[in-house]
Amino acid sequence: MGVLLCSTVAWGQPAPVSGTLGAVGSDTMAGLMLRWGEALNHRYPDITLQFQAGGSASAPTALVAGTTRFGPMSRPMTDTERQQFIERYGYPPRELSVARDALLLVVHRHNPLASLTREQADAIFSTTLACGGQQPIRRWEELLPVAQWPYGKIALHGRNLASGTHGLFLDRALCNGQFRRDISEHPGSSAVIAAVGESPNAMGYAGYNHVNAMVRALPLIDEAGRAIRPTVSTIQDGTYPLSRNLYLYVNLPPGETLPPAEQAFIELIFSDEGQQIVRAAGFVPLPQALRQPPLLAP
C-alpha cells in the first residue's frame, strides 16, 4: 500500500501544529521556499521554515548527512546522488515536482536576433558540439548579417558549478558536452540577467523567473522547426524546449508518514494558495492534474 504524504490539499482551519523545518538546496528556489515558509507561518504561527540556499548540489549532500529532511532542487538528482542516499538509508528519497520553470537564453533588450536552434546554442556555449553543430560560434557576425548590430565577440554569462541551472543547461542545451572556459559564471540568475542587460554584446542563460525588461528571452526552435517562445502555457505543457520541473526531495522512510509540521508544509505547496505563490514568485504553477496529494509508494 502506498504512503499518503499529504492528508488533503484543502487549506481549511488548521489544527495546532508547531515545529522548525529545515531545508537546504536550490538558490533558484530560494524566494519560492521563503514565500511558502511565510505562508505556512501565517497559517501556523508556531511553525518556522529555515532555508539555506547553497545551490541544488548542496541538497543531496545535506539529505545524506541527515541535516535536513527537505532538499529543493532545480534539476533532478543524478544517479550518483540518489545512490549515495540509498547507501546511507537503505531506501530512495521521495521526489516531488512542486512547480514548473524554464531555462532561457537571453540577450540585450535591443538585440535583433530572432531565435536560436539547440545546435546553435551548443555551438555558442560549448567546446564539444555534441548537439550536432558543424563549427563553434564565437562572434555575432556568425548569427546576424554583418550590417546589423551587435558585432564582435559574443560575451557569455552563465551559472556556477553548484547550480542546478548549470547542470541542466549542460545536459539539455549542450547535449551533456563541455562548457567553454571563458564563460563568466555567476552565483545566481539575477546576476546573469544584470550582466547581459548591461552589455550589448552579451548572451546568457538564466531561470524564467529572473527575466526583466533589461533583457529579451530568445525563442528556441523545436524539433518541428517552430520558434517557441517561453510563456506560461508553453512552459506548463512542456512545448518550450528548455522547460523543467522544480523538485522537492524528502527523506521519508517507507511505511512512515511525515510529522505534522512537515506534512502541513507539503499540503500548502500543493494547495491552490501554494500554487498561487508559485506564480507570484515568477514561476509557472503545476498543471491542475498534478496538484493532487502525491501518493508515494513505500
> Do residues 291 and 271 both lie within one domain?
yes
pLDDT of amino acid 37: 97
> Do residues 14 and 55 both lie within one domain?
yes
> Do residues 92 and 135 both lie within one domain?
no
> Do residues 86 and 151 both lie within one domain?
no
> Do residues 113 and 199 both lie within one domain?
yes
> Do residues 230 and 153 both lie within one domain?
yes
pLDDT digits (tens, 9 = 90+) for 135-155: 999 999 999 987 788 889 999
Domain that holds residue 176: 101-243
- Is the peptide bond between 136 and the residue preceding it cis, with omega within 30 degrees of 0? no
pLDDT digits (tens, 9 = 90+) for 5-28: 443 344 555 567 888 999 999 999
Which residue in 248, 243, 154 sits closest to 207, CA to CA? 243
Residue ranges for the chain with pLDDT beneath 70: 1-15, 293-298
* Separation CA 262–CA 79 (nearest Å): 26
The number of folded domains in the chain is 2
> Do residues 111 and 235 both lie within one domain?
yes
Q: Collect all residues with Cβ–Cβ distance below 8 Å to 21 and sequence separation of at least 6.
A: 37, 40, 47, 48, 49, 50, 69, 70, 261, 262, 265
Q: Looking at 243, 266, 282, which one is the last position of a domain?
A: 243
CATH of the domain at 217: 3.40.190.10
> Do residues 118 and 233 both lie within one domain?
yes
Pairing of strands 155-159, 184-186: parallel
pLDDT of amino acid 293: 58
Q: Looking at 221, 243, 265, which one is the last position of a domain?
A: 243
Q: Looking at 201, 225, 243, which one is the last position of a domain?
A: 243
The three-state secondary structure class of 4 is: strand
> Do residues 110 and 201 both lie within one domain?
yes
> Do residues 35 and 137 both lie within one domain?
no
- The stretches of the chain forming alpha helices (DSSP H) are 30-43, 58-65, 79-89, 118-125, 164-172, 189-198, 232-236, 260-270, 272-280
> Do residues 133 and 45 both lie within one domain?
no
> Do residues 152 and 272 both lie within one domain?
no
Residue whose cell numbers read 540585450: 108
* Separation CA 139–CA 131 (nearest Å): 19
